[in-house]
């Protein structure tokens, strides 16, 4: 027992006291459920019967051998692709433009773009269902002037995913934009001015200077868009299409819910959730690897 | 550096168009909520109602226990927010100003829960709430949300801007941590607490995923759940009422946003994401 | 009994030792300055007294009581931080009395102490200002006031003047001495500025790389440096340090030599050192244009104007030495003759870097007559 350790122990004790509320809540509603879901993935259970039947890896095999699973996983990646393009690439560009080209109305633009983030996605789903109604909605009418007929997106593979992604993006875009803008704005003015003095064109400044220097935030936005974006999409899916038609709009997140609370196959749901979780984990590890491999940190 | 107007103006236009696209739905909802159904179908592109009417709002209040639904939403949002703020503040304080074993590992573990999709925890959480008999109740919704990793993150970022010498000076005066929290730290992180609180309130108010699992009967619904009743993918007959309910659901979050936006944007932009 | 005592105290972070085996007693009521270059461990030492750093091993005694595990708040210590650590949301008065309020000191007692502090530090009229509306000097005085009203036995200051400009520093130093004379606490003061140390300290504790080099009065630290580091750190321009050989009573530097006064010959013979290093301060190295008796010869490299005198940089057998002169007519390339004043030289053991000591004759006579006699006596063998 070294000198002064008594002091340190006292402080540890106080720290744990402060952390107890958070730790208890997390233990009960986050860590225990995580373990229990893993446990459930090895059982066959419909949430009602008092006993569960142990089935080993059967759930995993069922899930991985179901043709629908692959359609759903495919959808998941398509969702991710749409979400990334709309909510990662475009906001990055917009943030750069706002920082380097548009000097006025900064506050207004930021404020207006961020606004939809504060609106419920249920509201968003309802609003867009009507606005994008292929027959009588305002968009359909305007397109009609140009002789374009709107596809019945809620019934079409591919289109349904695009529209649901757009609806989700309506809400997500603003947050990503704000965060990326803050990061780009935080890059020292002098570095960019030095480049301008050297006549470096804007697009080069973006790729060679701004992108690397904001990359830590960029990666965060990338990961968050995938992880949270997929979860946000759940709401429009449930509200508008319930995963249909024929799983065309379902993704891994929605389907796990579907298995558990509609089909009452908790084992399947758990297995699918764990598989999804592993995919996310790989993403997380990739993120840390990237960040540690010396992508340029801001400050 | 001067930017040529010929470059700036098109971009201004692009931004304005983007904003129009983003904000149109809100305006559309507002206008439609005051239209009669006939008006809404016949004059789709016209935002302003021909004969403004409150009938949609009245229908909402007549067909559903609207006040109770609004109260439910308000109670859940307020209570959850208060608890999240308290637990996050205390936890962040411990992480920033106290030394203890496993501090970094614990922080990492808590923050990484942001990456856990809700499907991983939803079944057991439902079972827990069900076992305690809190299904279909306000507390059933609130309970799993009493702590929040994002809250800890934001508070910690804010507290880290306080020079540690302030705390050391207080320690030398034999001031206990409770006093330090109240007299020194809290006043200095008030903007972060306020904006985090507003953010929590709004996100909980808007929440759909968890409440839809827990709340079963209409009088216990929150506004988003009530709203979902008006939707079907072909479009139902209650379109304008749906717009009215949408407006009601949007009002408080938007009002809070408009009042506190400087704080909120400030907190998210200065938290220096990593 | 306001004594502070370190007994073999170590402070380590894993394998890095920031304070090594510190043995130091700070006398009640004295002003002790912890001096040293960046990273020498002086701030860490101060913070260990305050309890803001844990002691890795060894013991710290405050007032004769072992204090290692006593929490900061109970050590009866007042501290002024380098960045003042004022609470930004409280005004001057609130900042000063906050600690007393929490300790539930009597209201009239608080008022009394507050008034005394405001008066002494000329803060009357600033009571309601916030720190951000104060100048650097004013903030520093508020930090001092906050420390004074505690009436603690121990008063710690961590580079309190380093953020002030030169003029303010002088007046701030005077204020500190005034405060000490009034309250008579034990003051421990950290600085990297040796001038500050020499003017403020009753004693100076010089540290380097976590080790205590010397602790003594400013006079002794200046005139009788205990080792080469001390000789080089204290004084500006720094002491000339030159490798030497000793042969038959002579100091041999390169191809030249000069004869030592007998008292030094005896000093060398009595010590255990085998190899030596020679030291002489620039102000004690006399410089002549014409050859003198028992001098060393060198060539001028360049001359620097110090304001009140000139620093002459000289090449002496490949070593660069500095001599001070009040005249400016020294030219680069000129050959000059150097004579170290015998009562002011320093000789160190090369291996241990420690001083071999000073002849007793120098203790008895600080008067100039004997010294000048020693300096002017010519002794040719």
Q: Are residues A115 and A19 in the same domain?
A: no
Q: Which tokens sit at B186?
A: 């809290």
Let me know if A299 is exposed, middle or buried by CB neighbors in 10 A (0-12, 13-18, 19+).
Answer: exposed
Asked whether the beta carbons of residue A4 and residue C54 sit closer than 8 angstroms, the reply is yes
Q: What is the pLDDT of residues C81-100, one digit of tens each?
A: 988 999 999 999 999 999 89
Please report, for chain C, the start and end positions of each structural domain, with discontinuous segments joined by +: 4-223, 239-376
**C114 C-beta neighbours (distance < 10 Å), count:** 20
Helices (H), C237-340: 262-270
CB contact under 8 A, B1 and A193: yes
In CATH terms, the superfamily for domain B62-270 is MetI-like (1.10.3720.10)
- On whether any CB of chain C is under 8 Å from the CB of B187, the answer is yes
Find out whether C3 and C63 touch, Cβ atoms under 8 Å.
Answer: yes
Same domain (yes/no): A78, A32: no
Summarised one tens digit per residue, pLDDT across range A197-246 is 888 888 888 888 888 888 888 888 988 898 889 899 999 999 888 887 88
Closest Cβ–Cβ partner in B45, B235, B254 for A130: B235
| C45/C29 Cα distance (integer angstroms) | 18
Reading phi first (left if > 0) and then psi (alpha if -120 to 50, else beta), residue C211 is in beta
* Among B234, B261, B231, B268, residue whose Cα is nearest residue B249: B231
Question: Which chain B residues contact residue A136 at CB under 8 A?
Answer: 41, 44, 235
Cβ of A7 and C59 within 8 Å?
no
Q: CB B166 to CB C85 under 8 A? A: yes
CB contact under 8 A, B183 and C98: yes
First and final C-alpha spacing in chain C: 57
Residues A114 and A236 in one domain: yes
The domain ranges of chain B are 1-53, 62-270
Q: What is the pLDDT of residue B2?
A: 64
A189 vs C117: CA distance, rounded Å: 46
CB–CB of C346/C231 below 8 Å? yes
Do both A131 and A242 map to the same domain? yes
User: Do residues A152 and A273 share a domain?
Assistant: yes
Give me the percent of chain B exceeding a pLDDT of 90: 62
Q: Check whether C73 has a pLDDT greater than 80.
A: yes
Which band of pLDDT confidence, cut at 50, 70 and 90, is reported for residue C364? low
Residues of C at the A interface (Cβ-Cβ below 8 Å)? 51, 54-59, 68-69, 71
Give the confidence band of C1 by pLDDT, cuts at 50, 70, 90.
low
At residue B252, the pLDDT reads 93
User: Who among A2, A6, A10 is closest to C56 (CB)?
Assistant: A2
Q: Is the pLDDT of residue A260 over 60?
A: yes
Is the same domain home to A23 and A95? no
B206–A8 CB contact, under 8 Å: no
Q: Is residue A51 part of a domain?
A: no
Domain C239-376 = CATH 2.40.50.140: yes
Please tell me which residue of chain B has the smallest CA distance to A107: B262
Between chains, do B113 and A105 touch, taking CB under 8 Å as contact? no
Q: How far does A22 lie from chain C, in Å, by closest CA?
A: 27
Q: Are the CB atoms for C34 and C45 separated by under 8 Å?
A: yes
Q: How many domains does chain A have?
A: 2
pLDDT digits (tens, 9 = 90+) for A42-63: 999 988 888 888 888 888 888 8
Tell me whether residue A196 is in a domain: yes
SS3 for C81-136 is CCCCCCCCCCCHHHHHHHHHHHCCCCHHHHHHHHHHHHHHCCCCCCCCCCHHHCCH
Average pLDDT, chain A: 87
Give the closest-approach CA distance of C176 to chain A in angstroms.
Answer: 32
Same-domain pairing of A65 and A34? no
Helix (H) or strand (E) holding A106: helix A106-114
pLDDT for the residue numbered C378: 41
Residue B44: the pLDDT is 80
Instruction: For residues A7 and A154, give the distance between their C-alpha atoms in angstroms, rounded to a whole number.
Output: 65
Q: Do A33 and B253 touch (CB under 8 A)?
A: no
Residues of chain B with pLDDT under 70: 1-3, 232-237, 270-274
CA distance A132 to chain B (A): 10
Prediction ipTM score: 0.88
Residue A2 above 50 pLDDT? no
Residues 44-83 of C with CB under 8 A from B: 50-52, 71-75, 77-79, 81-83
Residues A13, A95: one domain?
A: no
**pLDDT computed for residue B235 by the predictor:** 43
Residue in A111, A217, A260 nearest the CB of B122: A260
Q: What is the pLDDT of residues C227-254, one digit of tens each?
A: 999 999 999 889 999 999 998 888 999 8
Task: Quote the domain boundaries for residue A29.
Answer: 1-40
User: What secondary structure letter does DSSP report for C275?
Assistant: S
Running DSSP on this structure, what letter comes out for residue A85?
Answer: I
Q: Cα–Cα distances in Å, from B233 out to A160, A234, A242, B230?
A: 11, 15, 10, 10
Q: Check residue B236 and give its pLDDT.
A: 52
| Residues of chain C found within 8 Å of residue B189, distances taken between Cβ atoms | none
- Residues B119/A273, Cβ–Cβ less than 8 Å: yes
Spatial distance between the Cα atoms of C157 and C80, rounded to a whole number of angstroms: 5
Query: In the prediction, which pLDDT does C376 show?
Result: 45
Q: What is the pLDDT of residue B152?
A: 94
pLDDT for residue C161: 87
State the residue for tokens 């359609």.
A71
Cβ distance of C78 and B184 shorter than 8 Å: no
Interface touch B227/A120, C-beta < 8 Å: yes
Over residues A4-21, mean pLDDT:
81
- pLDDT tier, C26 (very low <50, low <70, confident <90, very high otherwise): very high
The whole-number pLDDT of residue C366 equals 53
For residue range C110-160, list pLDDT tens digits in order: 999 999 999 888 899 999 999 999 998 899 999 999 999 998 999 999 998
**CATH class for the region spanning C4-223:** alpha beta
| A216 vs C241: CA distance, rounded Å | 52
B54-96: pLDDT as tens digits: 988 998 888 888 899 999 999 999 999 999 999 999 999 999 9
């Amino acid at each position: 027992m070294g000198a002064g350790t008594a002091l340190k122990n006292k402080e540890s004790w106080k720290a744990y006291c402060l952390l107890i509320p958070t730790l208890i809540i997390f233990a009960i509603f986050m860590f225990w459920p995580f373990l229990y879901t893993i446990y459930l993935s090895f059982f066959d259970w419909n949430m009602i019967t008092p006993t569960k039947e142990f089935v080993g890896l059967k759930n995993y095999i069922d899930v991985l051998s179901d043709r629908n699973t692959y359609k759903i996983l495919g959808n998941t990646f398509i969702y991710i692709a749409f979400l990334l393009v709309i909510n990662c690439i475009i906001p990055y560009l917009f943030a750069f433009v706002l920082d380097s080209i548009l000097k006025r109305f900064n506050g207004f633009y930021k404020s207006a773009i961020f606004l939809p983030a504060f609106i419920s996605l249920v509201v968003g789903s309802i609003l867009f269902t009507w606005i994008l109604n292929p027959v009588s909605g305002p968009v359909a009418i305007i397109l009609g002037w140009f002789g374009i007929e709107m596809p019945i997106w809620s019934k079409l593979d591919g289109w349904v995913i695009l529209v649901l992604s757009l609806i989700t993006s309506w809400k997500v875009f603003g947050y990503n934009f704000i965060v990326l803008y803050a990061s780009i704005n935080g890059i020292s003015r002098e570095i960019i001015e030095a480049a301008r003095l050297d006549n470096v064109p804007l697009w080069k400044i973006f790729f060679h200077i701004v992108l690397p220097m904001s990359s830590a935030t960029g990666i965060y936005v990338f990961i968050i868009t995938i992880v949270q974006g997929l979860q946000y999409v759940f709401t429009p899916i449930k509200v508008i299409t319930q995963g249909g038609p024929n799983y065309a709009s379902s993704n891994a997140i929605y389907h796990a819910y579907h298995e558990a609370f509609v089909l009452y196959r908790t084992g399947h749901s758990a297995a699918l959730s764990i598989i999804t979780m592993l995919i996310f984990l790989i993403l997380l590890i990739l993120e840390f690897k990237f960040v540690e491999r010396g992508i340029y940190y801001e400050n | 550096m001067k930017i040529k107007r010929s470059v700036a103006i098109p971009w201004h236009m692009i931004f304005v168009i983007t904003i129009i696209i983003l904000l149109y739905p809100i305006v559309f909802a507002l206008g439609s909520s005051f239209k009669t159904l006939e008006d809404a179908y016949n004059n789709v592109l016209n935002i302003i109602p021909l004969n403004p009417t409150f009938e949609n709002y009245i229908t909402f209040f007549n067909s559903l226990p609207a006040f109770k639904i609004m109260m439910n939403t308000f109670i859940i949002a307020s209570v959850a927010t208060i608890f999240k703020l308290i637990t996050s503040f205390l936890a962040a304080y411990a992480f920033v100003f106290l030394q203890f074993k496993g501090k970094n590992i614990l922080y990492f573990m808590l923050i990484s829960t942001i990456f856990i999709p809700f499907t991983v925890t939803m079944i057991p959480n439902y079972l827990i709430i069900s076992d305690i008999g809190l299904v279909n109740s306000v507390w059933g919704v609130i309970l799993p949300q009493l702590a929040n990793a994002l809250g800890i993150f934001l508070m910690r970022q804010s507290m880290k801007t306080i020079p540690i010498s302030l705390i050391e000076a207080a320690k030398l005066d034999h001031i206990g941590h409770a006093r330090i929290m109240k007299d020194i730290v809290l006043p200095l992180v008030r903007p972060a607490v306020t904006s985090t609180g507003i953010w929590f309130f709004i996100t909980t108010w808007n929440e759909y995923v968890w409440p839809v699992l827990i709340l079963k009967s209409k009088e216990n619904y929150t506004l988003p759940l009530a709203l979902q009743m008006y939707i079907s993918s072909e479009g139902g007959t209650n379109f304008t009422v749906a717009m009215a309910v949408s407006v009601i659901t949007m009002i408080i979050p938007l009002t809070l946003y408009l009042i506190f936006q400087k704080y909120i944007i400030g907190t998210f932009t200065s938290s220096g994401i990593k | 009994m306001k004594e502070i005592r370190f007994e073999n105290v170590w402070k380590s972070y894993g394998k890095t030792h920031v304070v090594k085996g510190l043995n130091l007693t700070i006398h009640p009521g004295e002003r002790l300055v912890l001096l040293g270059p960046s990273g020498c461990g002086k701030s860490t030492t101060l913070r260990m007294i305050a309890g803001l750093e844990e002691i890795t091993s060894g013991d710290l005694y405050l007032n004769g009581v072992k204090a290692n595990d006593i929490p900061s708040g109970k050590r009866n210590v007042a501290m002024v931080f380098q960045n003042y650590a004022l609470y930004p949301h409280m005004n001057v008065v609130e900042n000063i009395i906050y600690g007393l309020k929490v300790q539930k000191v009597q209201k009239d007692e608080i008022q009394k102490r507050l008034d005394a502090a405001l008066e002494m530090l000329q803060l009357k009229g600033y009571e309601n200002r916030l720190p951000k509306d104060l100048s650097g000097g004013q903030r520093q005085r508020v930090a001092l006031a906050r420390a004074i009203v505690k009436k603690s036995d121990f008063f710690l200051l961590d580079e309190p003047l380093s953020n002030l400009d030169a003029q303010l520093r002088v007046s701030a130093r005077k204020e500190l001495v005034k405060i000490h004379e009034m309250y008579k606490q034990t003051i421990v003061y950290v600085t990297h500025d040796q001038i500050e140390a020499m003017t403020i300290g009753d004693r100076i504790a010089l540290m380097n790389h976590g080790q205590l080099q010397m602790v003594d009065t400013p006079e002794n630290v200046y005139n009788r440096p205990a080792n080469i580091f001390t000789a080089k750190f204290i004084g500006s321009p720094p002491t000339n340090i030159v490798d030497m050989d000793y042969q038959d009573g002579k100091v041999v530097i390169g191809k030249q030599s000069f004869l030592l006064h007998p008292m030094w010959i005896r000093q060398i013979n009595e010590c255990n050192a085998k190899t030596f290093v020679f030291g002489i301060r620039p102000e004690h190295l006399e410089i002549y244009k014409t050859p003198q008796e028992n001098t060393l010869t060198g060539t001028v490299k360049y001359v620097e104007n110090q304001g009140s005198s000139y620093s002459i940089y000289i090449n002496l057998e490949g070593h660069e030495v500095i001599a001070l002169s009040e005249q400016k007519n020294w030219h680069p390339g000129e050959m000059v003759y150097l004579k170290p004043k015998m009562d002011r030289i320093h000789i160190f053991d090369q291996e241990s870097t420690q001083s071999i000591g000073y002849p007793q004759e120098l203790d008895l006579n600080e008067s100039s007559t004997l010294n000048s006699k020693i300096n002017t006596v010519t002794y040719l063998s």
